[in-house]
Amino acid sequence: MARRPTGADPRDAGLSSYDAMLLAAMERGGEGLETGRHILTYRQDATEEAKAAVASLGIRAADARDYGDQTASVSDVGEAESLFLPEIGVAIVNNPEFNDASAALVADTATPLEVVEPEYFVFADDVTPDYLHGFRRAVDAILQDVDGRVTEFGDDADAEALGATWGLNACRVPQSTRSGTGIRVAVLDTGMALNHPDFAGRAFVASSFVGQPVMDLHGHGTHCIGTSCGPTSPPGTTPRYGIAHKAGPIFVGKVLSNAGSGGTASVLAGMDWAIANGCAVISMSLGSQSPVQAAYTAAGQAALDKGCLIVAAAGNASNSTGAPANSPTIMSVASLDPNLAPSSFSNFGKIDIAGPGRDVFSAAPMPRRYATMSGTSMATPHVAGCAALLAQLSPSLRGRVLWNRLTAMARPLPYPPARVGRGLVQAYP
């Protein structure tokens, strides 16, 4: 692995703060997923009281509402040691003494503070469960200044024929007369290749929560946006790979770095932003093998209450569903192979629905243009795109109502619900 000069700012090499924190932990020999920061969940209608309680500990607070379109991250708050996200009732605290100092406040029923949890690292949900090994390779590429790359998460892919990808056919997307017109879809991931020619003329609203430009140098986010919102008629013999081809504007939240790393805080900030901007569908192909977190559960409930549906990848560790998909208020998505059997890598347990996840063809940053990838990450945007088509039917199809209708329409499969949930997602005709 290439090593940076002692004392150099890792951001000078193109790394995000999360990349730097994870590198430092790895260099210390750490294998854990905790970043060292804390996440505070409080009663959602009590932001000002929660800020006062935190201030009583001498911790300065910032509020996402003070930033344009609620685009705020921990790195943006200057001297403040906490960032409050009022749409979801969560705060990120960057003070090492907060966990012990907050215990009495959380126990005091007179305060609106409910739970304090560690922040965890979060990763692009690729098919390789050895996340640290993959992260080392990605960082090595960045430190060697490899421009315009797509990481090992995608293989070279050539379009074979006109028509649609196997995933879209399995979900009956070509038969749908819906386009997602007027539906705001947010994809929280590694960003988007905004110069991709297949998206020329499409409207984007883009924000970064990891201190890097939104432009996707990883490939994961572009691939997911391609599936959920890509075009109906790509050029030449390229098969159709996009579902909600007129959804818009597309909200691009860069919550993972170009190396594929982020944290609970960056994801929550992106969720707060997407909810504040009225996105009907929020797609998150990311996660970690960490326990259920109260902050994600609160954010998912806030989203449902405000007419937003969050779908998230179950994970690829052949293990129990990871966070945030393991929260009961977030729709968890498992992966299927082309024969509609559960993918060998797909997590299990808390599964709500399944989507095509093996060998999925979609968009990639230029000059590559297209790639084939596998993972529950690829299954998730199939669900998000189908949700956008369904949401187009009526303004009443939002939040929990959209969740229930989407799962009720799923194609039953001969596998346990712990593997495929209600079955294979289907597009509304």
Instruction: Verify whether residue 218 is a known catalytic residue.
Output: no
Q: Which of 367, 360, 362 is nearest to 196 (CA)?
A: 367
d(Cα 275, Cα 244) in Å, to the nearest integer? Answer: 19
3-state secondary structure 261-321: EEEHHHHHHHHHHHHHCCCCEEEECEEECCCCCHHHHHHHHHHHHCCCEEEEECCCCCCEC
Cα distances from 328 to residues 42, 167, 216, 238, 298, in angstroms, run 18, 26, 30, 38, 10
Q: Classify residue 124 by its DSSP letter.
A: E
Instruction: Verify whether residue 261 is a known catalytic residue.
Output: no
Residue type, 275: I
Which residue has tokens 């907050």?
A: 102
Q: How open is the CA angle 253-250-217, to the nearest 5 degrees?
A: 50
Contact 389, 243 (CB under 8 A): yes
Catalytic residue among 38, 196, 218, 220: 220
Q: Which of 28, 211, 191, 24 is nearest to 124 (CA)?
A: 191
Instruction: Verify whether residue 189 is a known catalytic residue.
Output: yes
Which residue has tokens 């449902």?
A: 304
Catalytic residue among 63, 189, 216, 272: 189
Catalytic residue among 228, 261, 362, 377: 377
Contact 222, 216 (CB under 8 A): yes
Q: Is 354 helix (H, G, I), strand (E, B) or coil?
A: strand
d(Cα 26, Cα 13) in Å, to the nearest integer? Answer: 18
Contact 328, 298 (CB under 8 A): no
Q: Let me know if 319 is exposed, middle or buried by CB neighbors in 10 A (0-12, 13-18, 19+).
A: middle
What are the residue numbers of the active site? Answer: 189, 220, 377
